[in-house]
Every structure is written in structure tokens, then in C-alpha cells.
Chains A and B, each alone.
Chain A
């Protein structure tokens, strides 16, 4: 039988549009408009999951985003999503869903043994049991995670698309219930740009499922008319299925819109979810309230649900979840649910913890022949997979004492209501202060920090007419504050409800407080299986601060973040400590309001769009010629160019040898380039670099080191004087942006009178670095510049044509060979590169990548900033005294060279290392010790910073930073490797080739 719990008429579902779906492998049918929860209840499926810790059978507790129990694994394969609330899933044809945390099935779950053994699992069980020894935690964790768990994340890559949008508006209204609608309407009429979001698929909120009316109109008609008016304004945007998730400073709100989650097919055009980043001048919070459960023995069986949820299933979905129901309440408002159930043919008995109710509800009960037990409590419930009976008993002394005979009542549904908690999550996130309101026994907003207003039930106000009017006035007030020209007017909305929302008399729930009945559990937090006994235990063991109780018991720490449990936990603590709840305090609410997908936060910033990729003008040639690329920052640089059958070592050896023997070419376009102009540039460079720049002539180049104020090297490069007041600075590839910011900082904050302009020209120039004994012969065939040794010596700069293109040629060398760096306007880079490759054939021109470049420079003992330095290395540590001016009175970093730590003489110094076995290439980063031992600690002397096989020398070489390096020349040191081997090496000078530097002066 299908849809056996469906009423014949009523509800906001379309009975002509059946929808088939699968749950736990079984086929079911629901109707368009159903949620998974309502469709399951229509088919009399109450048992939907197992609880987190004790694996107890659990049903559907609520009908909204606060659901702690009915967490579902939705979908299969790569699109599967864990922990989705069945109460929020709109069903679609072919939907597949399954219960979580149960094995082999939800009906027979082996983990259910935890329930029988539950006395072994009190609060803090894991902390107490798995504390020692610390090293075994990883071992325990594996099994704990497996046993206590939620759903499973997908194993494959998610094929869905997610996107993000920014939105700016005058007024954002969070929550589209009647208060939110009324506020939005006023702001919209006052011509504010309004954004209204609601997490549901529909607007109207809680009352849209009720028999309330406004100005004599049915509430649904009023909602429809208001929505139509709002939609008619161009300056108003309504977003349904959109949850405001985070509320940050300056009215910045993030919201998650579920765009196609409820569609059957993967959309080709629409994203699955859209993440909104909203900045609103004014925010009106109208999020309503969540109904509070009651805490009593075994209050978690399937078939026990919130009174308002029962009513929503009945009125919105046409589902009668039980025919012989019991209502357990401490307030008048919940009686409405009883009346609706009786109206639809159910039998209802009411258990009221109070000794009295209003005449209004009592009279109605008399008319409907509903039996009320005042001053009674539910003391136990029965039924394994669904409730089938319960016991009640009379109470005295404000519920502190049970008296009289126990009465058993057969039932198939228990509705409960402990009053209402305003949804203060977003308000609290925005740093608003809360206060405890004794009238409703819950927290309400007090002092707002952001530019916001709170209206309706969200503010602890539960009167319909008041909320309609007050919200409308709030909308007008924010419009006025925004400078809109408005005439204050009344909304003239008069609401009518059968039963006022919350009656004056609401007692604290206080059921689980006295003599926590043995053998049963009084659940406070349904999702994390926290019972009243756990809260008691935490207080006994000294975890009496609210933050400690939370963490020790894990109450409020589930994916629902305690939406149904927090206030009950605090009330219980208040009872135990005999202190008002205000003094107990509350924990902090943090984003997100509801669980949200990582996909939505990532948006389109995934895969190739995750980070920009920067390519040089010659990139295509590199690709076509088999280059293997290396990421250097965002740049793609050729790493090496393997020929057929070559591995990296063979390719790099070949590339290095070609450079030393004839001619190599490197794409050096990624080097940072900064154009400096202005009369004070030389003066500025004197402050920025450690060496002197005043005497650098036009047409000359100079290498420089930059230090920070701590005296530590942070970048290096060659700067050339192009004209009287015109310089061209190069930086490391990775440091370009950092150096640019560094220059700007000092020009803008310290030396405001210096006239210097800095412009980044990194991408304006392609740089072809040619290197090798044949560099001059080769280039002279393609340029009009006189390249002779006499007219174009080392460290000089010339301008002229190269391959017919205007070029800047710098005679500088990073390989130690005769070399030229040819700068070509980037748009001609590819052309000139191709010309070079064609004309260079007779010199066996060999493109080389970054690895060969590293090897060649290491053979020469040239450092790489960031590899041979790490932010704690001074020029002196690198034996580069020659580049630190002694004459200059001041430059950045100079004063720190005389600090005690910087000037001590046992610092680590750059040295060379030669392994004694002549074969081992030391791993970079290896530690160097004087004498290795079988296990740490060993006296460490430093580390290997660069290490390669040197093709030129025919053996490995390494650079290292070694304590007292200069005085250890010729010493033997040891390098213990990860594999247990110990390599012996001899300390040498860090220059392994052409020590006199003759080759680059050729």
C-alpha cells in the first residue's frame, strides 16, 4: 500500500503528480511538493536512521533545517552528499537516498549493541579511555571514526558546477515568513533595493501552513498577494531555497542558494548551488524561531516529533503521521496541532505539564472531546522501531515530584512542545548580545552591533498582528535611515490566529531533572546522543562552564549546531547549579548557520581556474618541443627538454654540456623586471641595495643584494642604468611582486620626497638568455650591435636590432659562460626565439631548462635566493662581504649587521660539499652533523641547500650552510640520510668551476 498516511485533500502537494523515489533500496511514491521526510511519513516510514553514538533507532523529529535525526545519504556515486536533512530534501523522480550510520541495515544494526552497553559510554568516554598512550591515538581513531560516524563523502570528483555571485543592496531581509514579508514590503514600497532570502522553497514561513488570517484573508492568499507585489518591483529580489549562512562585519552576509539540487538531471546551464556574497546597508533579521523539544525518558523513539512539525506534515503535505496521537506540551500554542489532528480524524490525548491552560483552548478541547491531563508528565515510552505506548504520571511541586499511579496510553505518535527558541544564530554571529527572556524561557536578541533590526518571532515577539505592524514599521524606518523620502503609514495588517503563539504561562520543561530514571535515556542533543545524565555528569566532574560542558558532552556540536538542544542543555545546567540561565551564559554561534558544501565555497575557483597560469611568449615552442614544465609561482617554466629515450638526468647532463661547450638558450622571460625613473633613482637604489650605485655609468649593469631591515637577504638581481635617470631592475621570478611592494612601501611611507617612479615591466619583455663559448659568434650574425670584447665588455648594456627587432642586450651571466640576455618586446618574443633556433643550428644551439640552469649556477657557486637563503641569511653568511658597502652611511638592513646575533662569528656560512664516495647526490635539506649517532640527538652543524650531479666535473656537488663554515675547509662531516645510511663529505670552497671567472669575461 502506498501513501497510506495521506489525507484525501488539503496540503500544498499535487496529488496528480506522483514522484517515484528509492529509500534504502526500496521503491516509494510521493507527490510533487513533498520533502523526503513527508513522503516517507506518507508511506508510514518512521525509522530513517540510527543515532550517532548508541545507534538507537531514530525517526523524523522536525520539519525544517533544524532536524537533528533524519540525516540522509543523498544520491549515489560522485554526486552523493552525506548528512542531508530529509526534512529539507525536495523529492524528484528517481531520487535515491539511504540511512546512515547503520550496518547491515537501518532495521538491524549491529552497532545497536552500543545502546545495550551504553553505561560504558558516558560523556567524556573517548577522552577517558583512549587517552594513553598518546602514540596509540591514531590507532584508536581509525576504529572510533568508523563506529561513530555520519555519512560518507563521495569518492569520485563531483561533476556539478557551483558558482558565486556578489550582491549589493540597501536592505537585506533574512527570512520570508510573515514578518520578513511585511518588512520587505515596506522597504520595497519606499523604493529601497531589497533582497529577501528564505531557506524554504516557498515564502510565508511557519504560518503558511496554518489557518491564520490577515484582514479576513486566508494567510496563504495574503502571502501570495504580498509576494506578487514584491516581485512586481524591479528593485526587489526574492531568493527562495537560500540560506543565509554567515553574518560578518559591516553587514556582509554569505548565503547558499540551492539552484538545481531538487532537479533530477545535472543541468547543462545552471549550477547546482550558488554562493551569494552580500553586502547590505541595512539588514532585517526575520528568521523566526525553532520549537524546543521536551526532555523525558526515551524521548527519541521514531514516532516522536515536534508538535509544529506534526502540524506542518498535516497541513502542508497532507500527511497524517499518526492516528492515535498524544500531545505532550507546556504551552497553549501546541494545542493547535491537537485540534488539526482531530480535525483530520485522529484521536488525540493531551498531557500538559502545567496545572492550567487558557479557557480558549480548554473550551475547544471540550468541543472536540479531547482529554487533557494537567500536571502530568510522560515518564516513559515504548516501541522498538516506532512508539506504540507511553506512560504518564502526575507531578507536584512544579514538576519536581512524581505522585500517584502510572497510567499507560497506547499511541502511534507523540507530539511534543517545550516552547520556542528564537533563531538567534545569525544575530549572535554578527556579535549581537543575547539576553534571557523568562517569559519564553529562551534567549532573545539584546544589543546589536551591526546596522540591523530584528523583527517577529526572531525577536521573541509572537503576536501576529504586532509582528505584521512592527515589521512593516521596521522596513519603513530603515528606508528613512537610508534617506528615502517616505510618508510613515500603517500597514493596516490585522492578523488573526486561533491560538496566540505562546501563552503567558510557559514553564521550564524540567522533566529529566529529578531522579533521572534508570535504564532509560533523556535526550538533550539528539544528533550527538547527549543525555540529561551526561549534563549531570559533566557538572559533577567539574566541567561547569558552559563552554566546558559543551565540549565534554559534545552537546550542540553536531551538524545541527544544537538548534533544538542548546537551550535545554542550558536550562538543565541552570537547574543543577540553581542559578538563573542568564548566569549560566551561552556558547558562541559561528558560521555556517546550516551545513554547506565545500563546492559552493570554492565556486568556479577549481581545476584550471584555481590559480592563474602565467606563460611566456615562447610557451608554445616549449610545448611543441617536448619541454617538461615546472611551476615557479604562477609561471610555467621549462624544467628540461628530454630527447627520445632520455630521462631527466641524461637530458640535464646534455643541456649543461652544450652550454659549456658551444651554445645554450634559456627562456628567462619570467624574471621580475621593474622600470625605475626619476632624478632620485640612484639615491633610492643606494638605500635599497647593500652596494653602492652612485657611480654606475649609463650603459652599465650591476648585481645587487636586497636585505630587509633585519639584515637578511630577501632578493637579488642585476640592475642596469639605461639613461641619466632611468634604470632597469631585475628580480627573482618568485620575488617580483614582493620587491615591487617593497620599493613602493619605502617611496610612499618613508621617503616621500624622493622622486622615483616604479613600473612593473615583467610581462612587457621576453628575455632570451644565450650562453656558451659561441654566444658572441652566434649573436653577431643577427644583430647590428658591436659585440666585440672591447666595445661591449662584461656587465654592460647595449641597445640595437636583434633579428630586426629593437632589443635591449645585457651582457650578464648566470652560468659563468660568455652570455647575453636579450630583451625583446614580448609580442616579438616567439618570433626571435624561432629565428634563434633556426640560425643556431650550426652551433648546436640547445634549449635548456631551469634544472640545467640550477646545475650551471651551482657549479659556479652562485646562490638562489629562497633556496640557498631562507630569510635568516645575511650577505656575510654567503661570504659576500664584497657586495656590502662600507662607505654608505645607511641602507636597508645595514644597522642590523652589527646586532649581536647577526655579527657573532659562529654563524652558518655558505660552503661547498664534496661527497667522499664521488657518487651520492645528497638530498637537498639533509642535515649535516659532526659525528653521526645511531639515533638523535646529534650535534647539528647545518644543512644542504643545493645539490646536483655536476656534468662538468663528473661528480656530485653541493652547497651547504654550515656552522663556522669558513674555518672548516677540508674537514670531514657526516650526513645521515632518511634510509639510515651515513654519507661522508669534505667541506670545500663553494665554487666548483672556473674559480677565476675568466670564461664570462671572454
Chain B
């Protein structure tokens, strides 16, 4: 069970958080103008990397804020957490 550093509250137990899957998948600005395939990709397709994974979490039983987490899916090490709206940090696989 992880210890996660909420960017707003600090380190807390994983039981306070909920994971919401892959991060940095922006909602298309004008959905009506994109193809079914592009829309389907936004709805259904996610990467499933071995190693560095960017994901969205909420501090549900805390400040209720959404933020991003960089986690290594092999070691389960949480490498970085950062606020929504901040740009995606480039992190290499170990």
C-alpha cells in the first residue's frame, strides 16, 4: 500500500486516495469536428506501459483535489506528484 504525496496536503496513506487511470488525455476541444475514430480513441484507448506511467489521482478522503502522479508500474515507486494544469514532466525509465 502506497504512501502518496498530495501536492496540497503532503504525504498520506493510499487509503485516502482514488486512482482514475491515465493522465494527460485532454478532452477534445470541439468534439463535433473530430472523426469517430479519434473520438473512440479518446474514449477507450489507454497506454499500458511497463515502467513510467502518468496517472490521475484524487485525494478523495482529504482535500478532494485532483492531481497527477508519475508511477513506475514495475516497482510501484511513485516518482513525482504534481498539480493539475502543470506540464507533464519527462521522466525516463530506470
Give residues 8-55 of B contacting A (CB, 8 Å).
13, 20, 26-28, 30-32, 34, 36, 39-40, 42-43
Give residues 887-918 of A contacting B (CB, 8 Å).
889-890, 894-896, 898-900
Report B-chain residues with C-beta under 8 Å of the C-beta of A799.
Answer: none
A449 close to chain B: CB less than 8 A: yes
Give residues 65-84 of B contacting A (CB, 8 Å).
65-66, 75-76, 84
Contact of B27 among A741, A744, A750, A752 (CB under 8 A): A750
Contact call B66/A250, Cβ cutoff below 8 A: no
Q: How many A-B residue pairs have CB under 8 A?
A: 52
Nearest-Cβ distance from residue B63 to partner chain A, whole angstroms: 11
Contact pattern, A 709-725, Cβ under 8 Å of B = 1, otherwise 0: 11000000000000000
Report A-chain residues with C-beta under 8 Å of the C-beta of B60.
Answer: 741
Contact of B84 among A710, A741, A748, A898 (CB under 8 A): A748
B88 close to chain A: CB less than 8 A: no
Contact call A895/B56, Cβ cutoff below 8 A: no
Report B-chain residues with C-beta under 8 Å of the C-beta of A899.
Answer: 36, 39-40
Contact of A748 among B28, B65, B76 (CB under 8 A): B65
Contact call B64/A744, Cβ cutoff below 8 A: yes
Nearest-Cβ distance from residue A399 to partner chain B, whole angstroms: 43
Contact call B56/A890, Cβ cutoff below 8 A: no
Which B residue sits closest to A246, measured CB to CB?
B1
Report B-chain residues with C-beta under 8 Å of the C-beta of A895.
Answer: 28, 31-32, 34, 39
Given A449-B75, A899-B40: A250 in contact with B2 (beta carbons within 8 A): yes
Which B residue sits closest to A710, measured CB to CB?
B43
Report A-chain residues with C-beta under 8 Å of the C-beta of B58.
Answer: 741, 744-745
Tell me the bound Cα distance from A719 to B1 in angstroms.
40
Tell me the bound Cα distance from A279 to B3 in angstroms.
9
Tell me the bound Cα distance from A709 to B44 in angstroms.
10
Tell me the bound Cα distance from A750 to B29 in angstroms.
10
Contact call A745/B3, Cβ cutoff below 8 A: no
Tell me the bound Cα distance from A752 to B64 in angstroms.
15
Report B-chain residues with C-beta under 8 Å of the C-beta of A890.
Answer: 30-32
B89 close to chain A: CB less than 8 A: no
A248 close to chain B: CB less than 8 A: yes
Contact call B1/A250, Cβ cutoff below 8 A: yes
Nearest-Cβ distance from residue B79 to partner chain A, whole angstroms: 13
Tell me the bound Cα distance from A252 to B39 in angstroms.
41
Nearest-Cβ distance from residue B45 to partner chain A, whole angstroms: 13
Report B-chain residues with C-beta under 8 Å of the C-beta of A279.
Answer: 3, 13
Which B residue sits closest to A740, measured CB to CB?
B64
Give residues 592-643 of A contacting B (CB, 8 Å).
none
Q: Which of A710, A745, A749, A752 has the most CB of B within 10 A?
A: A749
Tell me the bound Cα distance from A898 to B22 in angstroms.
25
Contact call A748/B66, Cβ cutoff below 8 A: yes
Tell me the bound Cα distance from A900 to B40 in angstroms.
11
Report B-chain residues with C-beta under 8 Å of the C-beta of A898.
Answer: 36
Given A250-B1, A749-B56, A750-B27: A889 in contact with B32 (beta carbons within 8 A): yes
Tell me the bound Cα distance from A853 to B56 in angstroms.
40
Given A709-B43, A744-B64, A899-B40: A249 in contact with B1 (beta carbons within 8 A): yes
Tell me the bound Cα distance from A900 to B36 in angstroms.
8
Report A-chain residues with C-beta under 8 Å of the C-beta of B36.
Answer: 898-900
Nearest-Cβ distance from residue B29 to partner chain A, whole angstroms: 9
Tell me the bound Cα distance from A187 to B58 in angstroms.
36
Report B-chain residues with C-beta under 8 Å of the C-beta of A900.
Answer: 36
Interface size on B, residues (CB 8 A): 27
Report B-chain residues with C-beta under 8 Å of the C-beta of A752.
Answer: 84-85
Report A-chain residues with C-beta under 8 Å of the C-beta of B85.
Answer: 752
Q: Which of A248, A249, A744, A895 has the most CB of B within 10 A?
A: A895
Tell me the bound Cα distance from A898 to B37 in angstroms.
12
Q: Which of B31, B64, B85 has the most CB of A within 10 A?
A: B31
Q: Which of B3, B27, B32, B58 has the most CB of A within 10 A?
A: B27
Nearest-Cβ distance from residue B81 to partner chain A, whole angstroms: 14
Contact call A250/B43, Cβ cutoff below 8 A: no
Nearest-Cβ distance from residue B64 to partner chain A, whole angstroms: 6
Tell me the bound Cα distance from A249 to B64 in angstroms.
24
Nearest-Cβ distance from residue A467 to partner chain B, whole angstroms: 30
Tell me the bound Cα distance from A121 to B60 in angstroms.
54
Size bracket, chain A contacts? 20 to 34
Tell me the bound Cα distance from A449 to B77 in angstroms.
10
Report B-chain residues with C-beta under 8 Å of the C-beta of A249.
Answer: 1-2, 76
Contact call B31/A894, Cβ cutoff below 8 A: yes
Give residues 743-774 of A contacting B (CB, 8 Å).
744-745, 748-750, 752
Nearest-Cβ distance from residue A783 to partner chain B, whole angstroms: 37
Report A-chain residues with C-beta under 8 Å of the C-beta of B31.
Answer: 890, 894-895
Tell me the bound Cα distance from A702 to B30 in angstroms.
26
Given A709-B43, A745-B66: A250 in contact with B32 (beta carbons within 8 A): no
Nearest-Cβ distance from residue B4 to partner chain A, whole angstroms: 9
Q: Which of B1, B30, B32, B56 has the most CB of A within 10 A?
A: B1
Which A residue sits closest to B60, measured CB to CB?
A741
Nearest-Cβ distance from residue A676 to partner chain B, whole angstroms: 16
Contact call B43/A896, Cβ cutoff below 8 A: yes
Tell me the bound Cα distance from A896 to B65 in angstroms.
28
Report A-chain residues with C-beta under 8 Å of the C-beta of B30.
Answer: 889-890
Contact of A896 among B3, B13, B39 (CB under 8 A): B39
Which B residue sits closest to A252, measured CB to CB?
B1
Nearest-Cβ distance from residue A393 to partner chain B, whole angstroms: 52
Contact call B3/A749, Cβ cutoff below 8 A: no
Report B-chain residues with C-beta under 8 Å of the C-beta of A750.
Answer: 26-27
Report A-chain residues with C-beta under 8 Å of the C-beta of B56.
Answer: 749
Tell me the bound Cα distance from A252 to B64 in angstroms.
24
Tell me the bound Cα distance from A750 to B27 in angstroms.
7
Tell me the bound Cα distance from A898 to B31 in angstroms.
11
Tell me the bound Cα distance from A889 to B58 in angstroms.
30
Tell me the bound Cα distance from A147 to B83 in angstroms.
59
Contact pattern, A 433-455, Cβ under 8 Å of B = 1, otherwise 0: 00000000000000001000000
Contact call A749/B66, Cβ cutoff below 8 A: yes
Nearest-Cβ distance from residue B31 to partner chain A, whole angstroms: 4
Which A residue sits closest to B20, measured CB to CB?
A745
Which B residue sits closest to A751, measured CB to CB?
B27
Report A-chain residues with C-beta under 8 Å of the C-beta of B27.
Answer: 709, 750
Contact call A749/B39, Cβ cutoff below 8 A: no
Tell me the bound Cα distance from A252 to B58 in angstroms.
21
Contact call B1/A248, Cβ cutoff below 8 A: yes
Which B residue sits closest to A758, measured CB to CB?
B64
Report B-chain residues with C-beta under 8 Å of the C-beta of A741.
Answer: 58, 60
Which A residue sits closest to B25, measured CB to CB?
A749
Report B-chain residues with C-beta under 8 Å of the C-beta of A250.
Answer: 1-3
Tell me the bound Cα distance from A250 to B17 in angstroms.
15
Nearest-Cβ distance from residue B44 to partner chain A, whole angstroms: 9
Nearest-Cβ distance from residue B43 to partner chain A, whole angstroms: 6
Which B residue sits closest to A744, measured CB to CB?
B64
Tell me the bound Cα distance from A709 to B39 in angstroms.
10
Nearest-Cβ distance from residue A888 to partner chain B, whole angstroms: 10
Contact call B32/A749, Cβ cutoff below 8 A: no
- The interface of chain A, by Cβ under 8 A from chain B, is 248-250, 252, 279, 449, 709-710, 741, 744-745, 748-750, 752, 889-890, 894-896, 898-900
Selected A-B contacts with CB under 8 Å, 12 pairs: A249-B76, A741-B60, A748-B84, A749-B56, A749-B84, A750-B27, A752-B85, A889-B30, A889-B32, A890-B32, A895-B34, A899-B39
The 5 closest A-B pairs by CB, nearest first: A895-B31, A748-B66, A250-B3, A252-B1, A248-B1
* 14 further contact pairs, Cβ within 8 A, besides A709-B43, A750-B27: A249-B1, A249-B76, A250-B3, A279-B3, A279-B13, A709-B27, A709-B42, A744-B58, A745-B20, A745-B66, A752-B84, A752-B85, A889-B32, A895-B31
